Structure 1
Amino acid sequence: MSDCLEGVLVFDLEGQTLSDREKCLLIHPAVVGVILFSRNFQNRNQLVDLVDEIRSINAGLLIMTDQEGGRVQRFRSDGFTRVPAMGIIGEQWNKDPHQAVYLARDTGWLLASELRASGIDLGLSPILDLDRGISRVIGDRGFSADPEIISKLAAAFISGLHEAGMASVGKHFPGHGGIGVDSHIGLPVDRRSLEDIEEDLMPYRSLVSKGLDAVMPAHVCFSVADEQPAGFSEYWLQNVLREDIGFDGAIFSDCLSMAGARVVGNIVQRSEKALLAGCDAILVCNNPESVDQVVNALEKGAIHFPESPLRRKRLEKMRGASSQSWKELESSTRRVEIINSYQAL
């Protein structure tokens, strides 16, 4: 074990400009990234200015947001396309599977292109949860209830992300679609057997060889295997994801401020347990006091986790690659054709 300070924390911003406190955090060695929300967006020019200022303070940070399409899309105006929910793309599979695959790939490219043209590294997508009609928080965020359809559409979506210079983050491992409780407001306990949960793992098994770059685990307890929620469980992150499935990409925790994480302890305990379980980076959002507590604990060596050169390499691979300028993107025939195709859905 090592108390060495290492960049593992992703935090959020309170507004559309940087406060003095946030400017100091951006250069703290414990910080590896920033996540942006709708409250940080007024228009595209303001967003680009904010991203540029973050880069001017610390060019090495990962800048991310949740830009899945449908209900979860932080930026959806002033040039950012309102993208349909992935479930709508999944519905197209029943009409024309080949067209659905093309649409999934183009949607990945479009979402990533618009973010990359604004300087953002990650859109934290795709959703790999099965939409069984049980989970209200997932619903049509998922492509389908069929893991084979999810695997094929997600592979196409990831291909589109990569084409635009963005890494993929599959969520929420091993699956949030089998339980109705929303982990934002409570701890879901999924009591299914391991045999039944295997269906949820199928997209991960398929995509590990098809470009899945990172994974975000669920704040869901799968009681048959572990009393800890998956994001704090060595069983799920080490035994299943790393060893059994063979995934060697980055693991980002879901937000540790969520209600589903509170069963693990206070914010410092949650941070340590997530890192010990195998997360490469931890997200702490919507609570500046919690962010400061985690930073102070990391600074004092009160959060213990193994130092890992692999962690740094994994996170480094999450940086966005070269992208089109916004001007080039706006005039892109492909972008116009994709937007027009949404009108027919």
Structure 2
Amino acid sequence: MTDQRLEVARLLLPALRWSNENGFEGFRDTIERGLALGVGGFILFGGEADGVRELTAELRRRARFPLLIASDLERGAGQQFRGATPLPPAAAIGWLDDEAVAEHAGELTAREARALGVNWIYAPVADVDLEPENPIIGVRAFGHEPDAVARQVAAWVRGCRRGGALSCAKHFPGHGRTKGDSHIERPTVAVSREVLEDDLKPFRAAVDAGVDSVMTAHVVYPALDADYPATLSPRILGDLLCRELRFDGLVVTDALIMDGLTEDTTEAAAAVRALAAGCDVLLYPQDADAVIRALEAAVADGRLPRARLEAALARIAAAAERVWGDATGEVGAEADRRWALEVGVRSLRVCRGSPALPQGPVRLVEIEDDAGGPYPPYPRDAFPTELRRAGVELSDAGTPLVALYSDIRAWKGRPGISASAQSRVREVTDVAPDATVLLFSHPRLAHEIPTARNLLAAWGGEGVMQEAVAAWLLGESGGAAGMTTGVDR
């Protein structure tokens, strides 16, 4: 049983999260237990660049076989790892409709990931932003037009391959129509198979471009399978993904911890069903030992064919072997950061009026609308830091400048701007009708703050977009060059 246990463990990728207090040492037990069991790798969340390099070097030194070291890097390596280059959201890149930009974003992300020892990137998002009330996709997608999204996804995949890392199109067969967040519920997409073809276009393009892996959605599609979410569906993963789309790469579940998967079952039972349905990698288990026991039992009693297990293990081994090696290269190069900033500035949208930096002292009114979920929002220090760097005086007695942060975030449970945040904007504009409002979110939310006469939208509230807004207001990095007035759907 020992050999089989070690084989089964290779299907799992536990999570390791950095803390500012002790780095990855808070997950030392997970690291030691995972290496002892023989897990297939780990997914990393957060960290200083040097600390990430140290961890991945240790894993390479101690692992008995090549590992998959993964991370969610939809917005560049800097999304997770301090010191690496952060990129604008996919929607900002997609709005530029420049495949060269998307391809370079994929290449830069992969190059920096490999420099840190990360070899598997959970990007690009291949979902189409088809439902404005979607609480989880939004600006994570390249846009709302399927053919345009398909082109951007394919370009990103090509770039990622050139950068040397494994790519991953997600969330198959498309999370863009949901009105629920699969972190906290199991959404259903009740449209016809014909309509779903729009959702599938970017995935077809990703497969044609040579995407290395596909991540499943914990979402039910009655037109495809009325009984199971995609992660657990042989019809969706076998018939549609493998046979119709002819994908023969690695299939990975979205995180096992998500309620969209486990709302009516246990993590261990879901893992067995996912592997049987066609998944190869089981991502982010909470109890690796329980999942391993369940898989072993399923193989022993015939519920899980040994051939299915062996096929998954073979794909994992082949993928890991292709990208296993020492971390080389640098992250956070000045040229890369400058490129990312320029892309951010080019993507900014004037939604209304003539947004501008007030003359004289500025009263920065920051409205935080990103409460909810287990993890804090992005730090909001980049914007005021850049203003002060340029000599802008921030004062409670100055002219108001509103910064409204309302990102799409997992576990937040809602899209759009809350009533309380809308009210706070009105409080400012009632007194100062011409105040500039900076919307760090999707431009389509402009209609939710109708009293903002002068409105600039920045797609998201991460640091690079804060810096982009500051550069635009200050007339740096090209200022308004390439800007377009108007609002997306």
Q: What letter is aligned with 1:190?
A: V
Q: Match of 1:33?
A: 41
**Residues of 2 paired with 1:190 and 1:53: CA distance?**
43
**Residues of 1 paired with 2:128 and 2:234: CA distance?**
23
Q: Match of 1:284?
A: 284
Tell me: CA distance 1:195–1:57, structure 2 relative to 1, closer, same or farther (3 Å): same
Q: Match of 1:244?
A: 244
Q: Match of 2:33?
A: 24
RMSD, aligned α-carbons: 2.4
Deviates more, 1:167-176 or 1:59-68: 59-68
Q: Match of 2:71?
A: 65
Q: Match of 2:202?
A: 203
Secondary structure of the corresponding residue to residue 43 of structure 2 = strand
Q: Match of 1:127?
A: 125
**Cα distance, 1:295 vs structure 2:** 2.8
**Cα distance, 1:50 vs structure 2:** 1.2
**Cα distance, 1:312 vs structure 2:** 3.2
8 Å contact 1:165–1:323 — kept in the other structure? Answer: no
Choose which of 265, 290, 310 in structure 2 pairs with 1:293: 290
**Residues of 1 paired with 2:78 and 2:260: CA distance?**
22
Structure scoring higher RCO (CA < 8 A, sep ≥ 6) equals 1
Q: What letter is aligned with 1:111?
A: T
Q: Match of 2:14?
A: 11
Q: Match of 1:148?
A: 147
Kindly indicate whether residue 107 of structure 2 is the aligned counterpart of residue 109 of structure 1: yes
Q: Match of 2:88?
A: 84
Deviates more, 1:214-223 or 1:297-306: 297-306
Kindly indicate whether residue 230 of structure 2 is the aligned counterpart of residue 222 of structure 1: no
**Residues of 2 paired with 1:307 and 1:10: CA distance?**
21
Tell me: CA distance 1:140–1:50, structure 2 relative to 1, closer, same or farther (3 Å): same
Tell me: CA distance 1:61–1:305, structure 2 relative to 1, closer, same or farther (3 Å): farther
**Residues of 1 paired with 2:210 and 2:324: CA distance?**
15
Tell me: CA distance 1:22–1:143, structure 2 relative to 1, closer, same or farther (3 Å): same
Q: Match of 1:45?
A: 50
**Cα distance, 1:330 vs structure 2:** 5.3
**Residues of 1 paired with 2:12 and 2:327: CA distance?**
29
**Residues of 2 paired with 1:107 and 1:113: CA distance?**
10
Tell me: CA distance 1:14–1:150, structure 2 relative to 1, closer, same or farther (3 Å): closer
Q: Match of 1:186?
A: 185
Which has the higher Rg, Structure 1 or Structure 2? 2
Q: Match of 2:328?
A: 325
Tell me: CA distance 1:69–1:323, structure 2 relative to 1, closer, same or farther (3 Å): farther
**Cα distance, 1:118 vs structure 2:** 0.5
- State the TM-score, normalizing by the size of structure 1: 0.87
Q: Match of 1:56?
A: 61
**Residues of 2 paired with 1:55 and 1:324: CA distance?**
10
Kindly indicate whether residue 80 of structure 2 is the aligned counterpart of residue 75 of structure 1: yes
- State the TM-score, normalizing by the size of structure 2: 0.62
**Cα distance, 1:19 vs structure 2:** 1.9
What are the Cα deviations for residues 231-259 of structure 1, in whole angstroms up to 9, with x where unaligned? 10011000111111111111001111101
8 Å contact 1:215–1:251 — kept in the other structure? Answer: yes
What are the Cα deviations for residues 130-185 of structure 1, in whole angstroms up to 9, with x where unaligned? 11223220001000111111111111111110111012100000000111100000
| Structure 2 residues without counterparts, runs of 5 or longer | 19-23, 347-489
8 Å contact 1:175–1:201 — kept in the other structure? Answer: yes
Q: Match of 1:97?
A: none
What are the Cα deviations for residues 102-150 of structure 1, in whole angstroms up to 9, with x where unaligned? 1101111111111100011111110000112232200010001111111
Q: What letter is aligned with 1:260?
A: G
Q: Report matched runs for 1:308-319 at 5 Å.
A: 308=308, 309-319=310-320
Tell me: CA distance 1:73–1:188, structure 2 relative to 1, closer, same or farther (3 Å): farther
Tell me: CA distance 1:324–1:255, structure 2 relative to 1, closer, same or farther (3 Å): closer
**Residues of 1 paired with 2:91 and 2:17: CA distance?**
31
**Residues of 2 paired with 1:317 and 1:19: CA distance?**
27
Q: What letter is aligned with 2:122?
A: L
Tell me: CA distance 1:36–1:305, structure 2 relative to 1, closer, same or farther (3 Å): farther
Secondary structure of the corresponding residue to residue 36 of structure 1 = strand
Secondary structure of the corresponding residue to residue 185 of structure 2 = coil
